[in-house]
């Protein structure tokens, strides 16, 4: 019913998956109505602020990157955004000492742990939701992403890879009943061993290792201990979708369905939703509860 923030600041240190640069990230409480705002502490004041908004996304290749009005960028925001959304945090200031959010173990688990340690503070302001009123669908070849009206916040992803170990997988999530923490938060980012040399030659995955990504070679998972879930690959796609759609600026009341979708289609879907004024509306928690009670 009400907006939330963190009770106290909390920090972690790690490296960027693509940049390979080490940085400190600190999550801090923020006032109601602030939303999620990133701040690069290594930049001067005019270039350091990055509101977490879908229309500031400048690159979606292998991660979600924000670009502010000064032209500065901040990469790989999706995993911490997913953790904030999954833990129900509406307002926070996130300071980062470099160009990329630390990758940690490649999932959202470390960020969920930090949020749990910091604690959640309930604020004296109603939570605002983005209600989906009409189906919105975007496509890229046979890849699709869709948002549909629903009285819940649900996610479903299906992936198909030309790889024997990944193959075809599905995963679903109901974000309204701790499903994120229990079922999705520990799912790690992944990649194919055959792509590593090409990525690094192009300045990507410079900080990648078996400590922060699942690496697949042929039909084998190279990580010691194997997978955390049988369908960890599809669950991570759900995690990414939760983080990418959190850039809408408020929790979305609607059902997401992605077929081989990724950061690019997720962002394109939000752009298509907001472009159609008949497809969405803002609602407050109290008014929404009254509406649902009246229609029960």
**Arithmetic mean of pLDDT, 99-105:** 97
Share of the chain above pLDDT 90, in %: 92
Tell whether 188 and 56 lie within a shared domain.
no
Rounded distance between C-alpha atoms, residue 204 and residue 196, angstroms: 9
Note whether 239 and 187 are within 8 A (CB): yes
- Per-residue pLDDT, 172: 97
Of the candidates 127, 159, 178, which is a domain's last residue? 127
Rounded distance between C-alpha atoms, residue 244 and residue 64, angstroms: 7
Tell whether 141 and 199 lie within a shared domain.
yes
Q: Is the pLDDT of residue 163 over 80?
A: yes
Of the candidates 84, 107, 127, which is a domain's last residue? 127
Dump pLDDT digits (tens) for 196-218.
999 999 888 999 999 999 999 99
Tell whether 135 and 99 lie within a shared domain.
no
Dump pLDDT digits (tens) for 249-258.
999 999 999 9
**Arithmetic mean of pLDDT, 261-270:** 98
Dump pLDDT digits (tens) for 130-147.
999 999 999 999 999 999
Output phi, psi for 70, to 5 deg: -85, -10
Q: How confident is the model at residue 285 (pLDDT cuts 50, 70, 90)?
A: confident
Tell whether 96 and 135 lie within a shared domain.
no
Rounded distance between C-alpha atoms, residue 59 and residue 264, angstroms: 8
Q: Would residue 263 show up in a list of annotated catalytic residues for this protein?
A: yes
Tell whether 256 and 182 lie within a shared domain.
yes
How wide is the angle at C-alpha 253 spanned by C-alphas 180 and 102, nearest 5°? 40
pTM: 0.95
Note whether 153 and 251 are within 8 A (CB): yes
Dump pLDDT digits (tens) for 178-192.
789 999 999 999 999
Q: Which two tokens stand for residue 86?
A: 């999954």
CATH classification of the domain holding 264: 3.30.1700.10
Tell whether 279 and 158 lie within a shared domain.
yes
Tell whether 122 and 149 lie within a shared domain.
no
Q: How confident is the model at residue 294 (pLDDT cuts 50, 70, 90)?
A: low
The domain in which residue 194 lies consists of 129-295
- Per-residue pLDDT, 296: 54
Dump pLDDT digits (tens) for 26-62.
999 999 999 999 999 999 887 899 999 999 999 999 9
Domain count, the chain: 2
Tell whether 136 and 276 lie within a shared domain.
yes
The catalytic position among 18, 156, 236, 263 is: 263
Alpha helices by DSSP H, listed for the chain, are 78-86, 109-118, 179, 196-201, 232-245, 263-275, 285-295
Q: At what angle do helices 232-245 and 78-86 cross, to 10 degrees?
A: 80
Q: Is the pLDDT of residue 169 over 70?
A: yes
Q: Give just the sign of the alpha carbon dihedral 246, 249, 251, 256.
A: negative
**Arithmetic mean of pLDDT, 99-108:** 97
Tell whether 114 and 31 lie within a shared domain.
yes
Of the candidates 81, 106, 127, which is a domain's last residue? 127
| Helix (H) or strand (E) segment spanning residue 218 | none
- Per-residue pLDDT, 206: 93
Give the distance, in angstroms, between the CA of residue 189 and the centroid of all CA atoms in the same chain: 12
Note whether 146 and 257 are within 8 A (CB): yes
Q: Is the pLDDT of residue 70 over 90?
A: yes
Q: Is the pLDDT of residue 289 over 60?
A: no
Tell whether 176 and 250 lie within a shared domain.
yes
CATH classification of the domain holding 59: 3.30.230.20
Tell whether 154 and 253 lie within a shared domain.
yes
Cα diameter, the chain: 59
Residue 129 half-sphere exposure toward CB, CA atoms < 13 A? 22
| Helix (H) or strand (E) segment spanning residue 9 | none
Tell whether 109 and 252 lie within a shared domain.
no
Q: Is the pLDDT of residue 293 over 60?
A: no
Mean pLDDT of the chain: 95
């Amino acid at each position: 019913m009400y907006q939330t923030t963190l009770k106290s600041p909390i920090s972690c240190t790690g490296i960027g998956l693509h940049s390979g640069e080490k940085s400190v990230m600190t999550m801090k409480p923020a006032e109601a109505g602030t939303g999620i705002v990133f701040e690069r502490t290594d930049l001067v004041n005019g270039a350091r602020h990055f509101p977490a908004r879908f229309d500031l996304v400048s690159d979606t290749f292998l991660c979600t990157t924000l670009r502010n009005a000064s032209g500065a960028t901040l990469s790989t925001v999706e995993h911490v955004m997913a953790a904030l959304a999954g833990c129900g945090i509406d307002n926070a200031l996130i300071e980062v000492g470099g160009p990329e959010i630390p990758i940690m173990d490649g999932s959202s688990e470390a960020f969920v742990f930090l949020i749990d340690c910091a604690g959640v503070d309930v604020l004296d302001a109603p939570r605002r939701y983005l209600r989906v009123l009409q189906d919105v669908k975007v496509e890229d070849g046979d890849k699709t992403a869709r948002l549909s009206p629903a009285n819940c916040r649900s996610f479903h992803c299906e992936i198909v890879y030309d790889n024997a170990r990944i193959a075809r997988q599905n995963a679903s999530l109901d974000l309204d009943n701790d499903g994120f923490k229990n079922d999705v938060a520990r799912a790690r980012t992944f990649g194919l061993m055959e792509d590593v040399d090409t990525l690094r030659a192009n300045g990507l995955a410079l900080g990648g290792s078996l400590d922060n990504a699942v690496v697949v070679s042929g039909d084998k998972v190279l990580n010691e201990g194997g997978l955390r879930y049988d369908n960890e690959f599809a669950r991570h796609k759900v995690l990414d979708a939760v983080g990418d759609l959190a850039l809408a600026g408020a929790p979305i009341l609607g059902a997401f369905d992605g077929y081989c979708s990724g950061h690019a289609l997720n962002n394109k879907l939000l752009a298509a939703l907001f472009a159609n004024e008949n497809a969405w509306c803002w609602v407050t928690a109290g008014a929404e509860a009254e509406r649902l009670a009246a229609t029960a």
